[in-house]
Structure 1
């Protein structure tokens, strides 16, 4: 990307449309994700039934995401498939309001999970392709706007719940998903492709035959999987250490803010200077540092110092993966690559490590973070092999 290009050129291109697309999508996620379990409980589900409904949704997302990616690639219709499933996500969300009890809620949860499974990967595929094609903006700028919108959606949801109850999050997320569908229609069409991928699983086999793509899937699974213990048990550990809720909120917000900063500013700069492989190794290495410190201390000043590394262990890794995909994945398989990365490289790893984290924390307490550090150390080894791929300069 030409960083000397004036902002007028950026704003006159498709950048605003992609900010609207990613912003509305992640605002919808931020609106509903933190509060959906509470809404299900209010509608009569027990804790066990809520767990079943959420787990069933996770399994459906893992299964449905690659199917949507395949259809988008097979028919050269990424924008059309994204618009369709975004509209379906909005409409199905409203069905939560008409449902009570376990079985109706389970059905709606599974249907909604199927609809939203490929939203983020397909939005990423469109954004990444446009950023590479136009050269007027960075993918990280748009994705950073999405992260900021997620935080804003979560904050607004808290206000709405206090004013109108938990049902308000269903209304707001439904409307935001519908806005995502509208925003999809505002982004430009990609040039038509001449070649189509092979039928069946040929496209997936072709992707997995790319050594850099395979290695990045492994690296991403290891690093993102290592976050599961933090996401599930960091707050529990901090509360047990006597850290108050206000301080915990600030620590958590610091991590999210660092994510936005890396997406928009630091990450693209580092990628331009280090290259994909070295940036990936940096993300993994900082993961080793982050989890090692989490295993050894609950000192608030030290935690405040280490929380910004989240921007590197998540956002820089994601930018590096997008950078790699843009260079090694054939355009006709871009949507399939994104859904494989999102649903298998990240989704399955997160689900598996979330389940394992409970066992590890129960057995070792804070010492479980050493296992997460070991995962990132292993990721450094796999990332180092990316230097040997001829794809990278």
Structure 2
């Protein structure tokens, strides 16, 4: 596997010319996730899902202890890939075919590797899109998360030849038979009172829309702390001066920060959707800056039974996050596929919930 593309003794990150389809990249800096990380994550976003909040609740659901929030695990793995994939990124464009394969517990050490699966130069000749599949593994070598993302990256030299165009064939969604249920998870004794929600898998229907009502205003310091927590070194989130963001007045917020805010807000309406099983797709539609207030709404796209399980089911849920735009009217794309300026995130996931006994 290749390294991080350092020039001399200084790592300047990769440009479009530095990627090759089929290349495998081992990312630096293994990361042991601790209860301190989970406490900071909770302080930043305020998630209230009981399974990730209390060892006693998780134990009653068959797990050895409370697992790390699924999105915290995602951000840690994502952060490993940034120095090699998106240090010189213009924007992270989208996600597909992502699966959480095993729970991450405090004390687990995560590493990440990526494979380049696609390349395409943009018509402007100065940037291009890199497609990668990133896999996070624990200290035992077991895969805990696997996903595809594509990112717009600058070229080092606009006059250099364009790479051969390779666009990977990606599924529209993860099929329910590919969803991984955490080992040992058993919702047969699930306590909805302690969980804070009486709405089970059986109570949701495809097409249903849920306004999560509450909003969270992003503080500059919170975003900087969160992004450093994940060891995400993307320059666009830190160096306002050299990244040409003076016109914005503030630094660009890491898109994953918005994902975690929307996930925390979704508790109000999806309080028992305590496991994120798959990332079918997603887009960061518009930039978010410090001072913006994030709201969110969700739509149930599908409902699936899990093979051999009577205690749990899966919901395919689309979550839309907005900035400074309350979601009581469910702001969405128009007939031409254009989003209102206030929409910042469109995310499609599979969530696991308990079923009624």
Fold equivalence (TM over 0.5): no
- With the length of structure 1 as denominator, give the TM-score of the two structures: 0.27
Structure showing the higher helix proportion among its residues: 1
- With the length of structure 2 as denominator, give the TM-score of the two structures: 0.29
Select the structure with the greater relative contact order (CA < 8 A; seq sep ≥ 6).
1
Structure showing the higher strand proportion among its residues: 2
